[in-house]
Amino acid sequence: MIPPPGASPPRLLRIAVPSPLRRAFDYLPAEDPRAPALPLPGTRVRVPFGRGSRVGVVLEQVDHTDVPRQRLKPITSAIDETPILDTHTLSFLRWASDYFHHPVGEVVLGALPAALRAGKPLPASGETRWRLTPAGQRLDGERLRRAPRQAAVRELLAGQPGGVTRSELADLEGDWRGAVAKMAARGWVEAFEESVGVQKFAPDESLGVQKSWPAPNEEQQEAIDAVWGARGEFRSFVLDGVTGSGKTEVYLSVIARTVAEGRQAMVLIPEIGLTPQIVARLRERLSLPMAVLHSGLSDGERLRAWAAARDGSAAVVVGTRSAVFTPLARPGLFVIDEEHDGSFKQQDGFRYSARDLAIVRARQCGVPVLLGSATPSLESLNNIAGGRHEGLRLSRRAEGALVPTVEVLDLRGQPFEEGISQKLANAIEHCLGEGEQVLLFVNRRGYAPILICHACGWQADCARCDAHMVYHRASGRLRCHHCAAERGVPDACPECADPDLRALGLGTQRVVDALRERFPDARIDRVDRDSTRRKGALQGVLDAIHAGETNILVGTQMLAKGHHFPNVTLVGILDADGGLFGADFRAAERMAQLLVQVAGRAGRGQRPGRVLIQTHHPDHPLLRVLVREGYRHFGEAALSERRQAALPPFSCLALLRAEAPQRERAMAFLEDARARAQQFVDTHESVHVQALGPVPAPMERRAGRFRGQLLLQSDERAPLHGLLSPWLEELETLKSGRRVRWSLDVDPQEML
Ligand SMILES: [Zn+2]
Ligand SMILES: [Zn+2]
């Protein structure tokens, strides 16, 4: 289509198309002259791409492109008549793509449910109804004599002044859609959205004044007033509340008020499977239309929940990290529960932090955001100190529950059997005698993390990873927890043929076995990824403990995620040492959060709790601060260590990872990448970025591939991000990168 001389060239469409390339693609409008006006940003279109065809989303209409005219192709067709993504959501997605340097096509299309990604139509929200217009009511029946389907539609609508839904229309014979479309074009019928859900809510019904709502205590009321006072503007709050202090009550109250004003609230939670009670509580206390988004949904369920959030019929949208990308018709509030939790960071593919993105989104929407945690991340604590977040505190446990006492058990030189010291064993025995429940935390599942030959020292290692195989006694297998490799246990040492193979170290299974021998009358249950794989298994264990049937519960960090165990009065942490000396600079922070969260499960009822922490390093300074002065002081101490080491949040990091079957190949690519970064730094005086490495990853080999990494560090965000875009463009063209799998992680949470 060559425009006549003098005519202005047609506008172009800049389109997000799923592809590993970090850019959008320009297209000409459709060639079909009957095609409606140029599709607006946010509209899905079908485009020719490579040798095939793909579904993309229009980002913007532009007048200029760097692509030569003759290479531009027209789009095939527009899929939506009106944009499926509003401009707010679209610009938020583009921001996320820019910031985390992930291809915009994958980010934008990834935000759509599978059916929409595949080009299927957006289903009607179920609330769209059709009715006759005044012209349609006056219509002389004779005019439809030769259009029996239209006559049938008219007859149906004439008897229904409130309108009919699509499914009622679908009961008509034949092509009712075509008939309705023709009648709509003539102005005889019209579609309208019936107001449901949020709009129907009278403020006094949902303001939280019903008698069944517990009255907030003074601190809760202050927190509620602060967040509610910020409605309609961006402000970020950190609700720092000890476990059991009633953070959820604060969320519920602010959500109820937000919804009563006709706005939607989005609540992000770490893992729905592990914390079903927050969803249950929202449902029970706010009888509002709710959309719940998590990985366990079927495609159809996800699509319906997504559509309900988008069209505003869901008042509350609850979900795990990816829910942050869901469009909202009338956003009013964002809540991030357990904001410190690592699961808000996606660790592969599009590596984003849902916590950080929710804050950005709240800012773009001009609404408040509330981050809650009993153990705020060091980033959040630092943001409170710097005045970027407003700190709110709940220091009292609700209903007068008592704060547990925390004691460190020095394991050095103590009798110690299967991971349990005599002191801990005595405490367990006492508890069981009183009819109270015990919770024991072990940081590894399986039976034992190491199988070693007592004669020669041979260890069962994974052939494909730099890791030991974990011994699972119940199944009699060795398993690698990094690549899922599995094999049988040898009868004798493969090196020296000695049969004396010993299991070293502690896993949950082994602790359970040992406890069963020691406390044969107690019911002992286990909660870890192995024991809860079966659907409903976790719920079964939780039910048993709530019913008082379980005496001792042994589990991994899954236990730290928000469960309430009111009759647990003793919590034992079998080994706190792993976190104190982890390879990752966040190890101590995670260990502290875990200890406090697990400890918070004790004594939530009227009985005081006791927490015993076993360690070989009772004098570790951070552990001492944590136990003696609490999490806040631990945070200050840990932050000052980070400041001295120029680590986040006092610097910004981006980690380039590369892996290949051959070590040299991964390292050669990283060397090239380092040289390019250095070149950029040398030629741009204002860019203060350090390239550290490349070095092998802490676990150098995983699933048969060698892994290396290059760290970019800067005191400030802007220069780092100024470097990343042009640098990545260069990396995409590097020859050494061709047979290397590589990825960039902005603000990495793990260095492994
Ligand atoms: Zn041996
Ligand atoms: Zn492995």
Q: How many CB atoms lie within 10 A of CB 155?
A: 12
> What pLDDT, on a 0 to 100 scale, did the predictor assign at position 128?
67
Cα separation, 526 vs 542, whole angstroms: 10
**C-alpha 467 to ligand 1 mean position (Å):** 18
Q: Residue 508 is which amino acid? A: T
488 Cα–ligand 1 center, Å:
17
- Ligand minimally distant from the alpha carbon of residue 484: 2
Q: Both tokens of residue 357?
A: 């993105």
Q: Ligand 1 mean position to 517 CA, how many Å?
A: 29
What residue has token string 């729905």?
272
Instruction: Give the model's pLDDT for residue 194.
Output: 55
CA distance 332 to 68: 44
Strand partners, 238: 371, 391
Higher pLDDT: 436 or 175? It is 436
- pLDDT tens digits, 237-296: 999 987 777 888 999 999 999 988 889 999 999 887 666 677 778 877 777 788 889 887
pLDDT for the residue 402: 56
**Three-state secondary structure readout of 362-423:** HHHHCCCEEEEECCCCHHHHHHHHCCCCEEEEECCCHHHCCCCEEEEEECCCCCEECCEEHH
Task: Report residue 344's pLDDT band, with 50, 70 and 90 as the boundaries.
Answer: very high
The C-alpha angle with vertex 699 and arms to 695 and 701, in degrees rounded to 5, equals 95
pLDDT in tens, 373-428: 999 999 999 999 999 999 999 887 655 555 678 889 998 887 777 888 999 999 99
Cα of 461 vs centre of ligand 2, distance in Å, is: 8
User: What is d(CA 169, CA 191) in angstroms, rounded to the nearest whole number?
Assistant: 12
Residue 650 makes CB contacts below 8 A (sequence gap 6+) with: 382, 642, 643, 715
Task: Write down the pLDDT at residue 117.
Answer: 96
Q: Which of 419, 423, 414 is nearest to 441 (CA)?
A: 419
- Ligand nearest the Cα of residue 467 is 2
Query: In this predicted structure, what is the pLDDT of residue 135?
Result: 85
- Cβ atoms of 470 and 448 within 8 Å: the answer is yes
* C-alpha 445 to ligand 2 mean position (Å): 16
pLDDT in the model for residue 207 = 44
CA dist 680 → 690, 728, 729 (Å)? 11, 12, 12
Beta-sheet strands, E only, within 644-735? 652-660, 689-702, 705-714
- By DSSP bridging, strand 331-337 and strand 369-373 are parallel
Lookup: tokens for 426: 């005595």
Q: What average pLDDT score do residues 189-195 get?
A: 67
Structure token digits, residue 506 = 């502690």
CA of residue 481 to ligand 2 center, whole Å: 7
What pLDDT is recorded for position 369? Answer: 98
Residue 205: pLDDT band (50, 70, 90) is very low
- Supply the pLDDT for residue 403: 64
At 124, the pLDDT band (50, 70, 90 cuts) reads low
Sheet architecture: strand order including 477-479: 470-472, 477-479, 486-488
Place of tokens 């770490």: 270
Q: What share of the chain is helix, strand, coil (3-state, %, to 5)?
A: 35, 25, 40
Task: Give the distance (Å) from ligand 2 centre to CA of residue 484.
Answer: 6
The CA 459 to ligand 1 mean position distance, Å, reads: 8
Average pLDDT in the 352-357 region? 97
Q: How far is the CA of 678 from the centre of ligand 2 (A)?
A: 35
Q: Collapse the DSSP code of 483 into the 3-class scheme (helix H, G, I; strand E, B; otherwise coil) and give the result.
A: coil
CA of 495 to the centre of ligand 1 (A): 5
Q: What is the pLDDT of residue 130?
A: 81
Instruction: Give 666 or 601, the one with higher predicted confidence.
Output: 666
Q: How far apart are the CA of 672 and the centre of ligand 2, in A?
A: 29
**Tens of pLDDT along 707-725?**
999 999 999 999 999 999 9
Query: Mutual orientation of helices 87-100 and 354-365 as an angle, nearest 10°?
Result: 140
Q: Name the region of 326 (left: φ>0; alpha: ψ -120 to 50; beta: rest).
A: beta
Q: Which ligand is nearest to the CA of 487?
A: 2
d(CA 464, ligand 2 centre) in Å: 5
CA of 351 to the centre of ligand 2 (A): 23
Check pLDDT > 90 for residue 145.
no
Tell me the average pLDDT of the chain. Answer: 87
Span from the CA of 581 to the centroid of ligand 1 (angstroms): 29
Instruction: Give me 560's structure tokens.
Output: 């730290």
**CA 744 to ligand 2 center in whole angstroms:** 23
Of 103, 112, 52, 54, nearest in space to 83 by CA: 112
Distance 18 CA to ligand 2 centre (A): 31
Beta bridge mates, 696: 708
- Ligand at minimal distance from the CA of 702 is 2
The residue that leads in pLDDT, 584 or 90, is 90
> What CA–CA distance (Å, rounded) separates 614 from 612?
6
Are 428 and 552 in contact by the 8 Å Cβ rule? The answer is yes
Q: Which ligand is nearest to the CA of 454?
A: 1
Q: Name the residue with higher pLDDT: 158 or 673.
A: 673
pLDDT > 70 fraction of the chain, expressed in percent and rounded: 92
Least trusted range by pLDDT, from 32-41, 71-80, 176-185, 475-484: 32-41
Q: What's the gap in Å between 454 CA and the centre of ligand 1?
A: 7
pLDDT category at 25 given cuts 50, 70, 90 is: very high
**pLDDT at residue 604, rounded to an integer:** 58
pLDDT in tens, 483-534: 889 999 999 999 999 999 998 888 899 999 999 999 999 999 999 888 888 8
Query: What is the C-alpha separation between 215 and 304, in angstroms, rounded?
Result: 35
Question: Ligand 2 centre from 466 Cα, in Å?
Answer: 7
Q: What is the pLDDT of residues 555-581, one digit of tens each?
A: 988 877 767 787 888 999 888 877 666
pLDDT tens digit string along 669-696?
999 999 999 999 998 877 789 999 899 9
Residues comprising the chain, all counted? 752
- Please check whether residue 480 is in contact with residue 470, taking contact to mean a CB–CB distance below 8 angstroms: yes
